[in-house]
Amino acid sequence: MQKVGVFRPKIIGFLCNWCGYAAADLAGNLRKTYSSNLRIVRVMCSGRVDPIHILYAFQHGADGVLIVGCHLGDCHYINGNYKAKMKVNFLKKFLQEMGINPDRLHIDWASAGEGNRFANIVDDFIYKVIKLGPCEIKYVRL
Amino acid sequence: MNTKLTLAIFPLIGCSGCENALLDAWRVNDDLFNNFEIIYSPLLADFEEPDHVDVGIVTGNVRFHEDINKLLRWHKKSKVLVALGSCACYGGIPGLLNLQNIQSVINDIYSPKISLDNYDMPKLIENVKSIAEFVNIDIAIPGCPPPKNLIIKLFEHLLKGEPLILPDKSVCNECPLNTSEDKVIRNIKRFSLEPITPNKCFLEEGVLCLGPITRTGCDARCIKVNTPCRGCMGYLYNIDEAVVKFLSSVSSMIDEKSRNIDIDKIKDLTGLLYRFTLASSKLNFIKRG
């Protein structure tokens, strides 16, 4: 991944405790290599990720935000990932109007057994962000 | 012997609706307003600038560099500076210009031949800000236009010399519409283009109403005439926090099984959420140029 250029994006990943984080754990156990640009924040459910967390990440220099939760219908808390999906839909529209490329925000699903899938999600997303370049905004203090 | 308190109303960029609201309040409450005298107002009375005034009322927002000088000059002249209206408090509708590049605005209104560097008009400010970034405001009365009862309250407080504290409850507290126990959005509608059920909460109908985050004080006047709240009274918390929390709560209210949810129906989401407050938002990501 580092061959593409000198630009090394900062990616914040919000992983749900039951699926996303377990998948990241499994990817490690499987000795799967994926890009090290991802900074992982564990949350109890992807529905817990508030839009303010994502905006805060962008304001403080993140080039992309990745949310990984359970597959739709498999949420540990019944419908948290549907709420996360809707929040991301709204926020993508909001970000576009405020001047950030909405592709910098990505939500995806990986169950606890899908270590390989998780690694692919991360690599694909980071490749996409590298192609987009550094984030459009500068550091803003809220 | 003149014991009247002197007033100066100086307009910046605005629509002079706030002056009308002031006169409207003045008309119904003669006893109170007999204690005041307008000595400067280009729109209503005299435009000869006095040296000192007791109360300086600013309406409108800063748009040109001249406006900043005017604002600073009047800040020195007046003992108490009152910001009247949403434009003076939060930036108002002119603040929405922050979504555009200035050159494109000039191209649209005047001509593409005019560039920012060489024109004979007053110099425009690149980024619209609220006046609170330039001077300290003693009292802020939001509203577009400010509600009559708040203006009367303001003058009562000015007479007594007390600070005025705005209510810290949301518009939903005064809203007369009916709500159900489980607040669920089943489809998203555009206001005034699709039929809605009367006397039912706008959010449950799928119309984005900013009532939950907007400060009350207006007696829910828009909702009483069947229009969703637009947030002219300012938000209860930090502006950006309130907007993002509103987005968050609306997306949690949406029924995931419903197939009628189409977010693309909402045109200009930023203009809806920041209609009066974009200029004082700290989330100014907008790319210029």
B49 confidence band (pLDDT: 50, 70, 90): confident
Average pLDDT over residues A20-24: 95
**Which pLDDT score is estimated for A5?**
58
Question: Looking at the complex, does the CB of residue B255 fall below 8 Å from at least one CB of chain A?
Answer: no
Sign of CA dihedral B89, B63, A139, B133: negative
What are the C-alpha distances in Å from B46 to residues B10, B14, B39, B43, B269? 11, 19, 6, 8, 42
CB atoms within 10 A of CB A100: 21
Most confidently predicted of A65-69, B26-30, B93-97: A65-69
**Which pLDDT score is estimated for B264?**
86
Decide if B186 contacts B260 (C-beta within 8 A): yes
Give the pLDDT confidence of A80-95 residue by residue, as tens digits: 999 999 999 999 998 8
Task: Give dist(CA B208, CA B231) in Å, integer.
Answer: 11
At residue B55, does pLDDT exceed 60?
yes
At residue A76, does pLDDT exceed 90?
yes
Yes or no, beta carbons of A52 and B248 under 8 Å apart:
yes
At residue A1, does pLDDT exceed 60?
no
Yes or no, beta carbons of B247 and A89 under 8 Å apart:
no
Yes or no, beta carbons of B270 and A98 under 8 Å apart:
yes
What single-letter amino acid sits at B77?
Answer: K
**Which pLDDT score is estimated for B135?**
92
Interface ipTM: 0.85
Q: From A104, A53, A50, A57, select the one nearest B247 (Cα to Cα).
A: A50
Task: Give dist(CA B251, CA B13) in Å, integer.
Answer: 36
CB atoms within 10 A of CB A139: 8
Element of type H or E holding B229:
none
Task: Give dist(CA A106, CA A118) in Å, integer.
Answer: 13
**Which pLDDT score is estimated for B57?**
93
A142: nearest CA in chain B? B282
Residues of A in contact with B240 (CB under 8 A): 55, 142
Sign of CA dihedral B222, B223, B225, B227: positive
Yes or no, beta carbons of B251 and A90 under 8 Å apart:
yes
Alpha helix (H) residue ranges in B230-276: 239-253, 269-273
Question: Looking at the complex, does the CB of residue B182 fall below 8 Å from at least one CB of chain A?
Answer: no
Please state whether B16 falls in left (phi above 0), alpha (psi between -120 and 50) or beta.
left
Q: How close does chain B come to A134, measured CA to CA in Å?
A: 14
Query: Which among B99, B245, B263 is the nearest to A89, CB-wise?
Result: B263
| Residue A85 backbone dihedrals phi, psi, to 5 degrees | -65, -45
Decide if B282 contacts B240 (C-beta within 8 A): yes
Decide if A98 contacts A111 (C-beta within 8 A): no
Average pLDDT over residues A113-126: 94
B252: nearest CA in chain A? A83
Yes or no, beta carbons of B285 and A50 under 8 Å apart:
no
Query: Which among B252, B254, B283 is the nearest to A55, CB-wise?
Result: B283
A128 confidence band (pLDDT: 50, 70, 90): very high
**Which pLDDT score is estimated for B288?**
42
Give the pLDDT confidence of B121-168 residue by residue, as tens digits: 788 887 888 888 899 999 999 998 999 999 999 999 998 888 888 888
Question: What is the share, in percent, of chain B residues with pLDDT greater than 90?
Answer: 37
Q: Which domains are seen in chain B, by residue range? A: 5-160 (3.40.50.700), 171-280 (no CATH)
At residue B17, does pLDDT exceed 50?
yes
At residue B117, does pLDDT exceed 90?
no
Q: Which residues pair with A108 in a beta bridge?
A: A68
B64 confidence band (pLDDT: 50, 70, 90): confident
A127 confidence band (pLDDT: 50, 70, 90): very high
Q: How close does chain B come to A93, measured CA to CA in Å?
A: 7
The pair of structure tokens assigned to B100 is 């555009």
**Which pLDDT score is estimated for A142?**
47
Is A66 or B192 the better-scoring residue by pLDDT? Answer: A66
Task: Give dist(CA A70, CA B13) in Å, integer.
Answer: 51
B106 confidence band (pLDDT: 50, 70, 90): confident
Yes or no, beta carbons of A86 and B99 under 8 Å apart:
no
Yes or no, beta carbons of A83 and B286 under 8 Å apart:
no
**Which pLDDT score is estimated for B102?**
80
Q: From B237, B216, B53, B231, select the one nearest B150 (Cα to Cα).
A: B216
Is B71 or B114 the better-scoring residue by pLDDT? Answer: B71
Give the pLDDT confidence of B248-269 residue by residue, as tens digits: 999 989 888 877 788 888 888 8
Chain B, residues 217-246, CB within 8 A of chain A, namely: 240-241, 244-245
**Which pLDDT score is estimated for A3?**
55
At residue B289, does pLDDT exceed 60?
no
Mean pLDDT lowest among A3-12, B60-69, B210-219 = A3-12
Yes or no, beta carbons of B270 and A94 under 8 Å apart:
yes
**Which pLDDT score is estimated for B229?**
93
Q: How close does chain A come to B248, measured CA to CA in Å?
A: 6
Q: End-to-end alpha-carbon separation of chain B, Å? A: 59
Chain B, residues 81-100, CB within 8 A of chain A, namely: 99
Residues of A in contact with B286 (CB under 8 A): 98-99
Q: How close does chain B come to A70, measured CA to CA in Å?
A: 15
Decide if B223 contacts B243 (C-beta within 8 A): no
Q: How close does chain B come to A7, measured CA to CA in Å?
A: 21
Question: Looking at the complex, does the CB of residue B283 fall below 8 Å from at least one CB of chain A?
Answer: yes
Place of tokens 């001249």: B66
Taking each helix axis from N to C terminus, what angle separates B239-253 and A80-98, rounded to the nearest 10 degrees?
A: 140
Yes or no, beta carbons of B283 and A52 under 8 Å apart:
no
CB atoms within 10 A of CB B144: 23
The CATH T-level fold of domain A7-132 is Rossmann fold (3.40.50)
